[in-house]
Amino acid sequence: MRFQNTISFARKLDQVDPLKSFRSKFHLPKILGKETLYFTGNSLGLQPKSTLKFITDELEDWAQLGVEGHFDAKRPWLHYHKFSKKALAQIVGAKPIEVVAMNQLTVNLHLMMTSFYRPTAKRFKIITEAGAFSSDQYAFETQLKFHKLDPKVALVELQPRPGELTLRTEDIIKSIEAHSEELALVIFGAVQYYTGQFFDIKKITDAGHKAGAYVGFDLAHAVGNVPLSLHKHNVDFAVWCSYKYLNSGPGGIGGIFVHQKHATNFDLPRLAGWWGHDVQERFQMRKGFKPMSGADGWQLSNFPVLSGAAQLASLDIFQQAGIKNLRKKSILLTGYLEFLLKMVDPDGKHFSIITPSNPKDRGCQLSILMKQHGRKIFDKLMKARVLADWREPDVIRITPVPLYNRFVEVFRFSEIFKRALS
């Protein structure tokens, strides 16, 4: 599409947007009673108006039924992990048996690494992107130490080429090949939280498998943002949180994907709890752990219903909108943002956009690397009620989300940003 730098053009895009009605399904934050430009759905997604009802339903059932709610609630609590399966499976491109909502992201990362990072004297290395999210870095470091390995030797962190800002797929594959004899695990943030780069999941997975390693992805910034085909791409495992693009509320329930090929591989070591035990026998409280097949067999604890209820409200909206339609709008919306940003600073004097410019290599987010006065400019944005995200030392992340952001908002942002730069 040929974009135009006018408010009337932005308005036109909003008018013809097939998803425009979804914005009204969300609460839009205000500052001192005034409208904001909310561009931090990559950090905390907005609250669906329906969330209140989903949670209230459970509170009422709890009040009315007490413990019997496990069986008699409108959505029986005993089976609560099943209610989100279909939608989650669609969102990550999986079969229902391959996904389950449970715990939170970092916990799930440790659980998955317990099963899929099995270092031996010969094969012990982990390959990941340099500058991974801190929590992931801490997980990798402490997993290595847990196995009595030195992170300096066993953790391979891939840097972009000198002078470049994001990784090239060919370089990732070359590194995987170079370490193949010693490689145990390849793990990447599917969409890198800092740069916004969407890695080539299929190529990385194929290369990892060819090297004889397991391959996993952290979907924190990918789930609900970009199209995923984890089953088809043969990914071994993935983990995610749900409070970013999945709009499930602060600290909302996380999730895992375990490929079907591992569904009945009960030899994989795992840390177990009763909710992962064979459901027929779960309440017999007998000795001897018998995992359920599929992702369910990694569950530990009984399901956090209130947090799960909030997630169901959001997944319902995703089902209505359709992940393909969301992606289509997202490409336009972020494309429009990129177009306008280039108009604001045509010579690249003030900033450069780190995020890849090819839409297939990114999701909603654009990361803007400020060349000078970054923090000051960010503060000016905040003053103009733009809710954006500052990452030390010099990056502003702007994320228009197709469920609730409008083209007009992107346009307004570009005007505010221009003023902030001058």
Ligand X SMILES: *Cc1c(COP(=O)(O)O)cnc(C)c1O
Residues that bind ligand X (CB under 6 A): 104-106, 133, 135-136, 189, 193, 218, 220-221, 241
| DSSP-derived pairing of the beta strands 214-218 and 183-189 | parallel
3-state secondary structure of 270: coil
Nearer to ligand X, 196 or 402 (CB): 196
Q: How far is the CB of 22 from ligand X (least distance, A)?
A: 23
Q: Which of 344, 355, 422, 421 is nearest to 391 (CA)?
A: 355
Nearer to ligand X, 43 or 352 (CB): 43
Nearer to ligand X, 221 or 231 (CB): 221
Nearer to ligand X, 59 or 130 (CB): 130
Nearer to ligand X, 189 or 196 (CB): 189
Q: How far is Cα 4 from Cα 369, in angstroms, rounded to an integer?
A: 24
* Pair of tokens at residue 215: 């391959």
Q: What is 197-258 written as a DSSP string?
A: BB--HHHHHHHHHHTT-EEEEE-TTTTTTS---TTTTT--EEEE-SSSTT---TT---EEEE
CB 392 within 8 A of CB 34: no
Q: How far is the CB of 144 from ligand X (least distance, A)?
A: 17
Q: How far is the CB of 274 from ligand X (least distance, A)?
A: 23
Q: Which of 267, 268, 257, 266 is nearest to 234 (CA)?
A: 257
Nearer to ligand X, 193 or 257 (CB): 193
Q: How far is Cα 294 from Cα 130, in angstroms, rounded to an integer?
A: 31
Nearer to ligand X, 108 or 414 (CB): 108
Nearer to ligand X, 241 or 403 (CB): 241
Nearer to ligand X, 22 or 193 (CB): 193
Q: How far is the CB of 270 from ligand X (least distance, A)?
A: 19
Nearer to ligand X, 136 or 296 (CB): 136
3-state secondary structure of 307: helix
Q: How far is Cα 175 from Cα 188, in angstroms, rounded to an integer?
A: 13
Q: How far is the CB of 133 from ligand X (least distance, A)?
A: 3
Is residue 291 reached through a cis peptide bond, with omega within 30 degrees of 0 on the bond before it? Answer: no
Q: Which of 374, 372, 375, 341 is nearest to 355 (CA)?
A: 341
Q: How far is the CB of 57 from ligand X (least distance, A)?
A: 25
Q: How far is Cα 369 from Cα 43, in angstroms, rounded to an integer?
A: 18
- What dihedral do alpha carbons 192, 196, 202, 206 form, nearest 10°? -40
* Pair of tokens at residue 125: 């290395």
Q: How far is the CB of 371 from ligand X (least distance, A)?
A: 25
CB 48 within 8 A of CB 314: yes
Q: How far is the CB of 279 from ligand X (least distance, A)?
A: 27
- Please classify residue 100 by burial: count the beta carbons closer than 10 Å to its beta carbon, then call 0-12 exposed, 13-18 middle and 19+ buried: buried
Q: How far is the CB of 148 from ligand X (least distance, A)?
A: 25
Element of type H or E holding 135: helix 134-146
Q: How far is the CB of 251 from ligand X (least distance, A)?
A: 7
Specify the amino acid at residue 290.
K
Q: How far is the CB of 244 from ligand X (least distance, A)?
A: 6
Nearer to ligand X, 140 or 407 (CB): 140
Strand order in the sheet with 237-240: 99-101, 255-258, 237-240, 214-218, 183-189, 125-129, 155-158
